[in-house]
Amino acid sequence: MLTDLTIAEARDGLRARKFTARALTEAHLAAIDALNPRLNAFITVTAERALAQADTADAALARGEVAPLTGIPLAVKDLFCTEGVRTTAGSRILSPFVPPYESTVSANLLRDGAVFLGKANLDEFAMGSSNMTSAFGAVENPWKRRQDASAVLVPGGSSGGSAASVAARLAMGATGTDTGGSIRQPASFCGIAGIKPTYGRCSRWGVVAFASSLDHPGPFARTVQDCAILLGSMAGYDPKDSTSADVPVPDFEAACARGVKGLRIGVPREYRAEGMPADIEALWQRGLAWLREAGAETVEIPLPHTKYGLATYYIIAPAEASSNLARYDGVRFGLREDGEDLRDLYERTRAAGFGPEVRRRIMIGTYVLSAGYYDAYYLRAQKVRALVQRDFTDAFAKVDALLTPTTPSAAFAQGENMDDPVKMYLNDVFTVPLNLAGVPGMSVPAGLDANGLPLGLQVIGKPFDEETVFAVAAAIERAADFSARPQIRAGEPS
């Protein structure tokens, strides 16, 4: 089936003219038609555009003009502004918004020949770990519990639609953004690969901002190599983003084949969370064993400020969000609810436009920045953030990469963890420190738990050393030989 191919395989097939880009796109559009009503992975499907782009790709292939992604059908998280295509950020407040510009990352993918199938569902403004906060409805995880097939599981979040679409073979890859784990956690929950690159590697220009200092665009795909191919196109210096790094983009795909012989892999003992399922601890140990067998050395390493990561994150991220989301005021674009006067217009528009989780974070953020609380919360959080960063700097003086579980649990069901926001926030405990430090991290599927649900391991690398991350992740991928597939997927009757 065309939908089962990896990006690397499809690329070769297209170049060898074994099938057309149109056929490849049509296969994915058919899968979307069949499964999206159930999975709700896409907010907007752009079938006509996709077919037109596929035809353009076929014409280019016929002329022998090939770019890295010519004809490859992808999903784009609906947080990336796409010119002429509605961009909602999963929020009612942006439901009527059609950007007149294309984000740098999505423009880079189009430059390299990609086909966009549509805009993937997400937690509202990327705030969430379950995709349950989307104003456009929840996304169903295509995986099922072995013992309880009736339970509807969450795909993780915030990039839940991206992860579910790639896992269910509705797209070959997808863009995501990761502010506290929003690529790695859904990748882990959906049994696919996803990388949050170094801060500054991928431009944030044209990506609807959640927390500017923590937001990282990155790719999802079903293999480590495919992620490397996608990141190679997405990455690059962008003078329109002042925090973009002016560094060359290496050949990530080549790095996947490097192997891990002679690498020192750190094992942070602080990631042994209390109450963590035995399956996850066992998988972690297995991952370390695989790396040793492949010639790496594993060493225990301290990351002493890990336990403060989550609290720090939940001060800094809402603080930035409260300011970033001030522009949604009903005056210039998006939803407007008319009012008696300006203040009334603001209040009605924002009350109608923002869901409860977004409102909660705006209020938390406004509070921690307020006069009298700033020093105790925001300023202190910034100091702790510096300590978390130093933990990683110290660790990388001794090791080349770190290996941890991606999440403290497998995918949970809709309704679970919903009674207490803090329970939900705990999902990000292993992923958040990387966002605070800006270091790259990748989730790679490594096994199944007792329920038959996928679990991911997280590879953490030095700033701008995604190559080592890919090398280690690829080694785990080879050793794990992860071949399980979700129950709901293209070609399977749902």
Partner 1 sequence: MSYLIEGSTGTWEVVVGLEVHAQVISQAKLFSGAATEYGAPPNSQVSFVDAAFPGMLPVINRVCVAQAVRTGLGLNAYIHLVSRFDRKNYFYADLPAGYQISQFQHPIVGEGKIEIELADGTTKEIGITRLHLEQDAGKSLHDQHPTKSYIDLNRSGVALMEIVSEPDLRSPEEAGAYLRKLRTILRYLGTCDGNMEEGSMRADVNVSVRQHGEAYRTRCEVKNVNSVRFVMLAIEAEAKRQVAVWESGGVVAQETRLFDVPRGETRSMRSKEDAHDYRYFPDPDLLPLVLDEDWVAALKAGLPELPDAKRARFVSQYGLPVYDAGVLVAEQATADFFEVVAKGRDAKLAANWMMGDFFAALNRTGATIETSPVSADDLGGLIDLIADDTINGRIAKEVLEAMVETGKDAATIVDEKGLRQVTDTGAIDDAVDKVMAANADKVAEFRGGKDKLFGFFVGQVMKAMAGKGNPAMVNEALKRKLP
CB atoms within 10 A of CB 414: 17
3-state SS assignment for residue 82: strand
Assess 212 for contact with partner 1 (CB under 8 A): yes
CB atoms within 10 A of CB 105: 29
Using CB under 8 A, which of 44, 68, 83, 97 touches partner 1? 97
**Pair type for strands 441-448 and 454-461:** antiparallel
Q: Find the DSSP H helices in 294-412.
A: 309-324, 342-353, 356-369, 380-396
Tell which positions 8-67 bind partner 1, by CB under 8 A: none
Count of residues in contact with partner 1, rule CB under 8 A: 43
Assess 240 for contact with partner 1 (CB under 8 A): yes
Q: Annotated catalytic, 182?
A: yes
Assess 383 for contact with partner 1 (CB under 8 A): no
Assess 101 for contact with partner 1 (CB under 8 A): yes
Please give the structure tokens belonging to residue 106: 């999505």
Nearer to partner 1, 177 or 185 (CB): 177
Using CB under 8 A, which of 209, 234, 439, 471 touches partner 1? 209
Using CB under 8 A, which of 261, 327, 383, 398 touches partner 1? 327
Please give the structure tokens belonging to residue 455: 């679990």
Question: At its nearest, how many Å lie between partner 1 and the CB of residue 368?
Answer: 9
Question: At its nearest, how many Å lie between partner 1 and the CB of residue 464?
Answer: 16
How far is the C-alpha of 167 from the C-alpha of 154, rounded, in Å?
Answer: 13
Task: List the 42-45 sheet strands across, edge first.
Answer: 42-45, 115-120, 73-77, 173-178, 216-221, 193-196, 441-448, 454-461, 401-405, 264-268, 297-301
Using CB under 8 A, which of 249, 374, 380, 492 touches partner 1? 374
Using CB under 8 A, which of 6, 44, 56, 213 touches partner 1? 213
Is the Cβ–Cβ distance between 300 and 271 less than 8 Å?
A: no
Instruction: Provide the residue type at 306 as one letter.
Output: T
Nearer to partner 1, 261 or 327 (CB): 327
Nearer to partner 1, 273 or 384 (CB): 384
Question: At its nearest, how many Å lie between partner 1 and the CB of residue 115?
Answer: 22
Please give the structure tokens belonging to residue 46: 């752009």
Assess 389 for contact with partner 1 (CB under 8 A): no
Please give the structure tokens belonging to residue 220: 């999802």
3-state SS assignment for residue 295: coil
Of 234, 208, 235, 231, the C-alpha closest to 221 is: 231
Number of H helices, E strands in the chain: 16, 11
Assess 369 for contact with partner 1 (CB under 8 A): yes
Binding segment toward partner 1, per CB under 8 A, in 190-198, 222-230, 319-327, 403-411:
319-327
Question: At its nearest, how many Å lie between partner 1 and the CB of residue 194?
Answer: 21
How far is the C-alpha of 241 from the C-alpha of 133, rounded, in Å?
Answer: 28
Catalytic residue, candidates 91, 182, 233, 322: 182
Assess 127 for contact with partner 1 (CB under 8 A): no
Assess 326 for contact with partner 1 (CB under 8 A): yes
Question: At its nearest, how many Å lie between partner 1 and the CB of residue 111?
Answer: 18
Q: Annotated catalytic, 212?
A: no
How far is the C-alpha of 127 from the C-alpha of 413, rounded, in Å?
Answer: 18
Using CB under 8 A, which of 366, 414, 487, 494 touches partner 1? 366
Question: At its nearest, how many Å lie between partner 1 and the CB of residue 463?
Answer: 15
Nearer to partner 1, 169 or 201 (CB): 201
Q: Tell me, what DSSP letter sits at residue 152? A: P
**For residue 58, which phi and psi values (nearest 5 degrees)?**
-60, -40
Is the Cβ–Cβ distance between 476 and 446 less than 8 Å?
A: yes
**For residue 232, which phi and psi values (nearest 5 degrees)?**
-60, -35
CB atoms within 10 A of CB 240: 10
**For residue 263, which phi and psi values (nearest 5 degrees)?**
-75, 145
Nearer to partner 1, 131 or 322 (CB): 322
Assess 239 for contact with partner 1 (CB under 8 A): yes
Catalytic residue, candidates 106, 129, 158, 165: 158
Question: At its nearest, how many Å lie between partner 1 and the CB of residue 199?
Answer: 11
Q: Annotated catalytic, 158?
A: yes
One DSSP character per residue, 14-61 reads HHTTSS-HHHHHHHHHHHHHHHHHHH--EEEE-HHHHHHHHHHHHHHH
Assess 202 for contact with partner 1 (CB under 8 A): no
The H or E element containing residue 425 is: helix 421-425
Question: At its nearest, how many Å lie between partner 1 and the CB of residue 208?
Answer: 5
Binding segment toward partner 1, per CB under 8 A, in 185-193, 235-243, 291-299, 433-441:
235-243
Is the Cβ–Cβ distance between 306 and 391 less than 8 Å?
A: yes
Assess 87 for contact with partner 1 (CB under 8 A): yes
Binding segment toward partner 1, per CB under 8 A, in 86-94, 113-121, 417-425, 444-452:
86-94
Tell which positions 334-363 bind partner 1, by CB under 8 A: 342-343, 346
Assess 237 for contact with partner 1 (CB under 8 A): no
Using CB under 8 A, which of 17, 111, 356, 370 touches partner 1? 370
Peptide bond into 158 cis (omega under 30): yes
Catalytic residue, candidates 77, 144, 196, 462: 77
Chain contacts with partner 1 (rule: CB under 8 A): 80-81, 87, 89, 94, 97, 99-101, 103, 204-209, 211-213, 239-243, 319-320, 322-323, 326-327, 329, 331-333, 342-343, 346, 366, 369-371, 374, 378
Task: Please list the active-site residues.
Answer: 77, 158, 182
